[in-house]
A and B are shown apart, each in its own frame.
Chain A
Amino acid sequence: MDYEFPDGLKYATTHEWIRIENSIATVGITDYAQHQFGDIVFVELPEVGMVFEKGSNAAEIESVKAVGDLIMPLSGEIIGVNQNLAGTPELVNSSPFVDGWMIKLAFSHASEIDELLSVDKYKQIIQNEEH
């Protein structure tokens, strides 16, 4: 299947995308991930000001028949959440990379960025999962 992969993003093995601008990272789930979920019905977002380690669960994503987590790709403090998802969680399906973003975070360890995946590496992961 063909999935969208916009330019200029980093990825995590757990299917998050990360856009780095200055010292702020915006995070959401990928087109591939939203397809796996199917119709998303609810996203439980963290509160602004919460601090998470890399790898911990920051948000919970529910579809009718599945539930999953948004996993922190970088350690840091939540400085913004996408309030629109409260009333329209379907944005994650229709626009996973733009309107369906989930959290903005001020990352605490810039070195962790190097551990994120390039688009090519991420494509390989998807290929492996699909076979």
Chain B
Amino acid sequence: MISNIQLIFDKENEGNQQNFVPKMDIDQTELDEILQASLLRKDLPIPNIPEINIVRHFIRLSNKNYGVDTGIYPLGSCTMKYNPKVNETIVKLPGFTRIHPLQEENQGCLGLLYHISKQLGEITGMDGFTLQPAAGAHGELVGLLIIKKYFESKGIKKQKIIVPDSAHGTNPASAKMAGFSIIELISNEFGEIPLDQLEFAMQDGDVAGIMLTNPNTLGVFDRQIKEITRIVHENGGLCYYDGANLNPMLGICRPRDMGFDIVHLNLHKTFSTPHGGGGPGSGPIGVVKELIPFLPIPCLISTENGIVCREIDNKSIGRIKAFWGNFGVIVRAYAYILALGSEGLKKVGQIAVLNANYLRILLQQKYILPYNRICQHEFVLSDQGIPNDITTEDIAKRILDYGIYAPTIYFPLIVPGALMIEPTETESKQSLDYFIEVMNKIYEETKQNPELLKNAPQNMPVKRLDAVLAARKPILHD
């Protein structure tokens, strides 16, 4: 691989200006007639770099980066599936890219938003959707604000949310941002919610609801899900479905039927839009009929005059993002749903689970699998029992050396030294077999050559980096 790449700001890059501004074709006024001098900047410390240098810089950087298009990306809970190329073509149509959010001739855009809401409703069983949230965590916040407003509108004050210990870290953080405090539930030996503990927690009259991922972060479908949602409802609470793990449920079963009232989806996971290195994403929220008035604005309805915004309901939580959500991301998800259709979506759910179980069966021959059940989209190994003080981090770094990306590590917190593996439906059997081969080789290395792991990675552009130094003496720009 390539050694260190200079920062683009290095002096050698300085050169000619570019031609990315149209020629000035109107008469100019002296600037000091328009603005007082104190409002003007004196210095603009940004380099002028020749185009070819910029191109080569980014090509070199891209060569030091790994994406789904490079190889298997088994990051648990992240659903790193293939991003169809046709979606990139579609989103770049001028009829999307050149449409202003405040322009009037927008029925193509509004129609698309309206129709995908209906499709997501069919997929999840929910009655109404908002596409405004820009990410999964943003969706969680919106969902919790809806819960808050729902109880406020009934004149009931409820200040707590139940979150199991296996939950994604965003769940408690989102609940806190919506003004709730957290009751943490300890999951049982299958990673499921113990009903007696839930009953007990719900008796505290202050509980507004529960946030759950199902299948959970261990990849296990909670067999008592209907009991769970019943208990919460009977005690006056609402049930929130964290849709981060929806992929294996596509076309198989629906959060609404499980008893959930609110669901967030990650279009960048389940619906194949590119993760982009950590955004932009999109986190739509679906709700049951009773909660539709609480959705954020704008909310679309279909009328004789086409798709329009419905009048603002005073129960609405208000606006949570300017304009219309991450439209470009939503377009790609819409294309994906249209391309796959009813049969294709079901196959996604089935093959995601097939691939995960195939890996699970073959990897547990060497590695410890603390929650050993049939899994859904993912499963979690542990570093316990690995000899020579080899840790999960060592294994992950060694995986990189074999030219593939590492699983999610040290999450969920309930598994010591967790390695969380989610292959997704788009990986071929050859690709899965290669991953197994690498994991088996690494297992042998833990016994025969532990130093290889402790000093991994060896074949990457850099060796292990000093995270402690980075945090103690932060250098955040040049």
Contacts and interface: CB of A to CB of B under 8 A. Distances in A.
- Please say whether chains A and B are actual partners in one complex: yes
A103 to B, nearest CB: 21
A10 B142 CA distance: 47
Given A41-B468, A64-B471, 11 more contacts: A39-B468, A41-B471, A41-B472, A42-B471, A42-B472, A62-B471, A64-B467, A64-B468, A65-B410, A89-B472, A90-B472
A41 B469 CA distance: 8
13 contacts: A39-B468, A41-B468, A41-B471, A41-B472, A42-B471, A42-B472, A62-B471, A64-B467, A64-B468, A64-B471, A65-B410, A89-B472, A90-B472
Nearest to A65: B410
Interface string A44-65: 0000000000000000001011
Nearest to A62: B471
A4 B468 CA distance: 24
Secondary structure class of chain B's binding surface, majority of residues: helix
Contacts of B467: 64
A7 B468 CA distance: 31
Contacts of B468: 39, 41, 64
Interface string A64-80: 11000000000000000
A62 to B, nearest CB: 7
A42 B410 CA distance: 22
Interface residues of B, number: 5
Contacts of B471: 41-42, 62, 64
A41 B471 CA distance: 6
Contacts of A65: 410
Interface in A11-62: 39, 41-42, 62
A106 to B, nearest CB: 31
A57 to B, nearest CB: 15
Contacts of A90: 472
B394 to A, nearest CB: 15
A118 to B, nearest CB: 32
Closest 10 CB pairs of A and B: A41-B471, A39-B468, A41-B472, A64-B467, A64-B471, A64-B468, A41-B468, A89-B472, A42-B471, A90-B472
Contacts of A41: 468, 471-472
Contacts of A89: 472
Nearest to A41: B471
B162 to A, nearest CB: 23
Nearest to B468: A39
A131 to B, nearest CB: 14
Interface string B438-478: 00000000000000000000000000000110011000000
A90 B468 CA distance: 10
A41 B472 CA distance: 5
Nearest to A89: B472
Nearest to B410: A65
Contacts of A64: 467-468, 471
Interface in B128-186: none
A89 B473 CA distance: 10
A94 B401 CA distance: 34
A42 to B, nearest CB: 7
Nearest to A93: B468
Interface string B350-387: 00000000000000000000000000000000000000
Interface string A88-119: 01100000000000000000000000000000
